[in-house]
Chains A and B, each alone.
Chain A
Amino acid sequence: MSLHAMAPDGHDAHTAHVPVFTGARRAELDELLTRYPTKMAALLPALWMLQEDRGWVSPEGMAEVAAVLDLTPAYVKGVVSFYTMYHQHPVGRHFVQVCTTTPCNVCGAEDVVHAFLRETKCGELGVTSPDGRFTVIEVECLGACGFATPVMINDALVECVSVDSVKDLVAGLD
């Protein structure tokens, strides 16, 4: 039931979607629904579950979320695209977000970004490295401005990253 089944070169762009909301996840969602007076309120949490389990929010995943919460896929997509933390495309194994908003930038955050692009061999922002290990992006304020430069690597926040520490940091990731 893929929404865009084949990429132009005939290669299947998406592996078949395995439903997320079965078993324990379904129970988790059902418990969650008791906390809110509407089903719709569980949308952000449901999308988080989807992303945690599948690594990204695929069109098929959105369709599943829409079905379990009685929403339309178009509505779900509209919400997903509003928020920056839902991945609408697969990303590298290590998703690196470097804050470059002004308070960090005055402490040299842009140089830290360049160091990451170099060390991960990504070369460009938002482009996954050829080995599939890294995707590096710039983000707006991570709420850790006093610990410039903060970098989020997947779920972990690393504080006070400097150009000099990037090499070791990248080397420590598989």
Chain B
Amino acid sequence: MGYPHPAHPRETPVISRYFGDAEARTLAGWQKRGGYEVLRQALATDPVDVQNVVKDSGLRGRGGAGFPTGVKWSFMKPDGKTHYLTINGDESEPGTFKDREIMRWTPHQLVEGAAIAAHAIYAETAYIYIRGEYTEPIHRVREAVKEAYAAGILGANAMGSGKRVDVHVHKGAGAYICGEETALMNSLEGRRGNPRIKPPFPAVAGLFAQPTTINNVETVSAAQHVLRHGADWYKSLSSPANPKSTGTKLFSVCGNVAKPGNYEVGMGFPMKEFLWDLCGGPPAGRRFKAIIPGGSSVPILTPEECEGAVMDYEGIQAAGSLLGSGGVICFDDSQDMVRQIARLARFYAHESCAQCSQCREGTAWTTRILERIRDGQGTMQDLDTLLEIADNMSGKTICVLSDSCATPVVSGLKKFRHEFEAKIPKNRSSVMIPGFSPAAA
């Protein structure tokens, strides 16, 4: 199987098992591989029992925050209200491209996972929100949904269970912020994708003001394997050293690395072996200079900090960063960190939804200062200003996009300060405004 490299013997392909296998995309192919049997069982099981198996497995949300999935599901009570499930397929975090592969290669895995999760939270309707740029994944998932309806797997009497399960695909239109759960709900409702102030939390009043659960594509895909093989089996896939991070995780790897791609390993996998044995290390003749281990919004690590780190929520935190969405971005020693961090800040400035001033102004200001330093026009004072702005952007806004911009800037400044300083002309104490002469003013 040549996806895009042959599977490494140290990988544990559960979710990614059928990546590259075109037959698994079809309903017949998915059923041949045991597909939809777990859904059939789940529909005959009390939702609380489904929640409990997932709780016992220790599965945590794969969208970034790592919240325990079974616990999240258990917030939804049979209260007679209309419940909604929303599947987050917005995946726009730079460095992360795992959900795309789940949707491209195993769309029925997602549809089945969505239907199971809907049942577990007493919902009849699930919306799968997929970013607009994902034309092929959208097409694949839509086809899978169509096939599932035609076969009676979805609809008014799903698999003959007497229960209604509807799954709809909703296409985004280009906005990173719509991956934030409340922004996604606004977008689905036909509004601008502005995050909402919490509380109320989605479990109380989410989509269309009804109790709502939102789960990442990888999360619900993993949940069905948990139900199929049991909580103990799922826990056995990860390192026994840390019972708080269980099962497998799909990591996306990109940037300056020999073999970029998606790799599924058990939680607790040693990062050094991951980067070298699986991903082939840095490009030939180069050395790693920096690694961002969890998508672009987490702190930057130096290769030394990655040395003894293990890849699970607590392990990466102990190394000084976060597991996040599992997007590993590699920088080799040819990179100008100031230029790349400035480019990252520009991403956040572009993607800010602009409702909080700290974020709207902070991301733009940070970008301008970083670009000025990049272009050799900065001052030493700018470095302090950057930290000051970052401080004002963190923990003070409606959502954490603002913090996400500040994080790589602060960690970049801390760990690569010499590169910033090297770009600042000596004795430059104030900013030169082109065409402005203090004498003439």
- In the complex, the answer to whether B190 meets A106 with C-beta atoms within 8 Å is no
Q: Least Cβ distance of B265 to chain A in Å?
A: 16
B344 in the interface (beta carbon within 8 A): yes
Q: Least Cβ distance of B91 to chain A in Å?
A: 5
Closest A residue by C-beta to B210: A37
Give the residue of A43, A105, A155 whose beta carbon is less than 8 angstroms from that of B135: A155
Contacts of A139 in B (CB 8 A): 133
- In the complex, the answer to whether B192 meets A78 with C-beta atoms within 8 Å is yes
In the complex the two chains form, what is the Cα distance from A44 to B353 in whole Å? 17
Task: Known contacts A84-B175, A85-B173, A102-B296; decide if A79 and B190 are in contact (CB<8 Å).
Answer: yes
Q: Least Cβ distance of B224 to chain A in Å?
A: 23
Q: Least Cβ distance of A50 to chain B in Å?
A: 12
The stretch from B163-171, B394-402, B422-430, B432-440 touching chain A is B163-171
Q: Least Cβ distance of B313 to chain A in Å?
A: 22
Give the residue of A79, A106, A143 whose beta carbon is less than 8 angstroms from that of B133: A143
- In the complex, the answer to whether B134 meets A143 with C-beta atoms within 8 Å is yes
The stretch from A6-14, A117-125, A127-135, A145-153 touching chain B is A145-153
In the complex the two chains form, what is the Cα distance from A102 to B93 in whole Å? 11
Contacts of B94 in A (CB 8 A): 101-103, 140-141, 145
In the complex the two chains form, what is the Cα distance from A83 to B351 in whole Å? 10
Contacts of B135 in A (CB 8 A): 155-157
In the complex the two chains form, what is the Cα distance from A79 to B173 in whole Å? 10
B172 in the interface (beta carbon within 8 A): yes
B331 in the interface (beta carbon within 8 A): yes
Residue among B91, B172, B190 facing the most chain A CB atoms (10 A cut-off): B190
Contacts of A102 in B (CB 8 A): 94, 255, 296, 329, 340-341, 343-344, 347
Give the residue of A35, A42, A107, A144 whose beta carbon is less than 8 angstroms from that of B97: A144
A163 in the interface (beta carbon within 8 A): no
- In the complex, the answer to whether B340 meets A143 with C-beta atoms within 8 Å is no
Task: Known contacts A35-B166, A143-B91; decide if A42 and B190 are in contact (CB<8 Å).
Answer: yes
B350 in the interface (beta carbon within 8 A): yes
Contacts of B171 in A (CB 8 A): 44-45, 48
Contacts of A143 in B (CB 8 A): 91-92, 96-97, 100, 131, 133-134
Contacts of B350 in A (CB 8 A): 140
Contacts of A84 in B (CB 8 A): 173-175
- In the complex, the answer to whether A38 meets B208 with C-beta atoms within 8 Å is yes
In the complex the two chains form, what is the Cα distance from A84 to B262 in whole Å? 27
A86 in the interface (beta carbon within 8 A): yes
Q: Least Cβ distance of B336 to chain A in Å?
A: 10
In the complex the two chains form, what is the Cα distance from A70 to B187 in whole Å? 17
Task: Known contacts A47-B173, A141-B94; decide if A37 and B208 are in contact (CB<8 Å).
Answer: yes
Task: Known contacts A37-B208, A145-B95; decide if A101 and B347 are in contact (CB<8 Å).
Answer: yes
Task: Known contacts A35-B168, A84-B174; decide if A148 and B260 are in contact (CB<8 Å).
Answer: yes
In the complex the two chains form, what is the Cα distance from A35 to B188 in whole Å? 12
Q: Which of A7-64 contact B (CB under 8 A)?
A: 35-38, 40-45, 47-48
- In the complex, the answer to whether B190 meets A44 with C-beta atoms within 8 Å is yes
- In the complex, the answer to whether A148 meets B254 with C-beta atoms within 8 Å is yes
Q: Which of B173-194 contact A (CB under 8 A)?
A: 173-176, 187-193
Task: Known contacts A41-B188, A48-B173, A100-B343; decide if A145 and B252 are in contact (CB<8 Å).
Answer: yes
Contacts of B134 in A (CB 8 A): 143
A142 in the interface (beta carbon within 8 A): yes
In the complex the two chains form, what is the Cα distance from A72 to B131 in whole Å? 25
Q: Least Cβ distance of B89 to chain A in Å?
A: 10
Q: Least Cβ distance of A137 to chain B in Å?
A: 11
B136 in the interface (beta carbon within 8 A): yes
Q: Least Cβ distance of A114 to chain B in Å?
A: 15
Task: Known contacts A102-B296, A143-B96; decide if A79 and B347 are in contact (CB<8 Å).
Answer: no
Closest B residue by C-beta to A69: B190
Contacts of B188 in A (CB 8 A): 41, 44
- In the complex, the answer to whether A141 meets B173 with C-beta atoms within 8 Å is no
Q: Which of A66-118 contact B (CB under 8 A)?
A: 69, 71, 78-79, 82-86, 100-107
- In the complex, the answer to whether B96 meets A145 with C-beta atoms within 8 Å is yes
Q: Least Cβ distance of B21 to chain A in Å?
A: 19
Contacts of A71 in B (CB 8 A): 190
Q: Which residues of A contact B (CB under 8 A)?
A: 35-38, 40-45, 47-48, 69, 71, 78-79, 82-86, 100-107, 139-148, 152, 155-157
User: Can you list 10 residue pairs at the A/B interface with Cβ under 8 Å?
Assistant: A71-B190, A79-B190, A84-B173, A85-B173, A101-B347, A106-B255, A107-B255, A141-B347, A145-B94, A148-B255
Closest 6 CB pairs of A and B: A43-B190, A85-B174, A83-B173, A84-B174, A146-B260, A40-B190
